[in-house]
Structures are given as structure tokens and as C-alpha cells.
Structure 1
Amino acid sequence: MSLEQEVDIDASGQFKYVLINLYLKDDSSKLLVRGYGWGEYHDDIYQKTLELALAAGLDTECLGGGRIRHDPDKKEISVYGYSVGYGRANHSEAVKLIQKKYPSYKVDWSNEGY
């Protein structure tokens, strides 16, 4: 897990994700997608990313969350749902970033489900 990659998600499975705005030292920012099966709550994932950012002298803001279903065999990623604590992320923004990392995948999103 690092702050360098825009998208860092588990290689397969269904898991929670958060969309994070990382504020850089030059007053710019970049969006991050972080999704892991070990995150029991969306906040677990956000707090780990925040910890890394603070250690680097940076700040973040959680823009919401949802879930990701990653099927590497079918080369499909689905982004959907919401976070009870942070609200629904802008899934279309998350999908744009995911599609850049996985250009050969079918990546879609929906506001349905939890």
C-alpha cells in the first residue's frame, strides 16, 4: 500500500472501497481509490491511507465509499453501493481511475446495492 498509485485494490473478490482526495504539497490534489478485503469497515481502509498520508506530511479527505467486485478471470470490475459512514462515492470518478489501471477490463458501476 502506497500513495503513489491512484488505484490500489485487491486482486480479486468482493470488498469495500473508498474514494479519497489526497492533498499534495504543491496545493494540488489527486483522487485515490483504495479497496481491500481486510477492511471490515470503510473507515478501516480510510484510516490506513490517512496514516500513510500524515506520515508523508500530506492530508486527505474521504469522499465516500462503496463496494467493488473484481473478477480477474472474466476481466470485470463492478463498482456499486455506498458507505454508511461516508456516504456514496462518485462511482463514475472511481471507474475512470480503475479503467486506467485495468484498460483491458470491462469496468462498470451502479448506485444499486449496499
Structure 2
Amino acid sequence: MADGLAQIPDVEIDPEGTFKYILVRVKVKDGDLFKDIVRGTKSAEYHNHIFEKVSPAVEALGMECKCLGGGKIEHNSKEKKLRVFGESTGFGKADHSVSVEKLKSVFTDYEILVR
């Protein structure tokens, strides 16, 4: 099942703009293996809309997931900057430091700030 975790991208966010994001823990069912992932999109009016898309996809791979919190991301691809801030009313505030580490692993040449 570790291979299944490896198939799930650490980060999937919109290429531009300011949008809601969630930090999700994906876990192998009946096991100790897990990883945290970041998902964000402008198409989500609320944080739970993102989770409602992530959860079935993860479960289809035989895993379970839990939302650890949310916030917002401002993505400026021209200036290569990401800003992580805010919180989710429904899920609470994500640990932005964990989210930033995930973002840094994908956006290696970006300046990433937490507000």
C-alpha cells in the first residue's frame, strides 16, 4: 500500500489566483502509513467542496482520508510566489507550516510565505 500512497501527488493547486485549500491526511486502511497532501482550487466555494472531491478518489485507491484543516493560498506564477494564510470555518486552521513544506517540495524555485 505504500506504492498507493506514492501515486498520490503531494500537491494539487490551481496555477494562478487566490483560492481555498485544505490539508488532508491520507492513510492506508488498517495500517500506520500515511502522508499529508495539499489540495486547493478556485472552483470550491467552501473548503468542504474540495474534500468532497478528494475523499472518493482516495477511497477508490483503498485508503482513507481526514481533513486536518484549511486556509487560503495566493498563487502568483509570474512572480513565483505562494502565500499561505487564513483558516477554514468548517475544518479549522490547517498547520500552515506543514502545508508550506509540501508546497516547497513541488514549487522548489518559489518564494513561499505564511501570513
TM-score by length of 2: 0.90
- State which drifts further: 48-57 or 74-83: 48-57
Query: Take 1:92 and 1:38, find their aligned partners in 2: how far apart are those partners?
Result: 24
1:106 and 2:103 equivalent?
A: no
How far does residue 102 in structure 1 lie from its aligned partner after superposition?
0.5
Match of 1:48 in 2: 53
1:82 and 2:87 equivalent?
A: yes
1:27 and 2:32 equivalent?
A: yes
What amino acid is the match of 1:73? Answer: K
* Unmatched tracts of structure 2, length 5 or more: 1-6
Query: Take 1:56 and 1:87, find their aligned partners in 2: how far apart are those partners?
Result: 26
Q: 2:102 aligns with which of 97, 107, 114?
A: 97
* Unmatched tracts of structure 1, length 5 or more: none
Q: 1:12 aligns with which of 16, 22, 26?
A: 16
Query: Take 1:11 and 1:61, find their aligned partners in 2: how far apart are those partners?
Result: 25
- Structure with the largest fraction of helix: 2
Aligned CA RMSD, in angstroms, stands at 1.1
What amino acid is the match of 2:21? Answer: Y
Query: Take 2:80 and 2:59, find their aligned partners in 1: how far apart are those partners?
Result: 34
Q: Deviations over 1:17-69 (max 9, x none)?
A: 00000002553000000000101110000111001011111100100000000
TM-score by length of 1: 0.91
SS at match of 1:23: strand
Query: Take 2:37 and 2:85, find their aligned partners in 1: how far apart are those partners?
Result: 16
Please identify runs of 4+ aligned residues in structure 1 that moved more than 4 A: none
Identity across aligned pairs (percent)?
A: 36
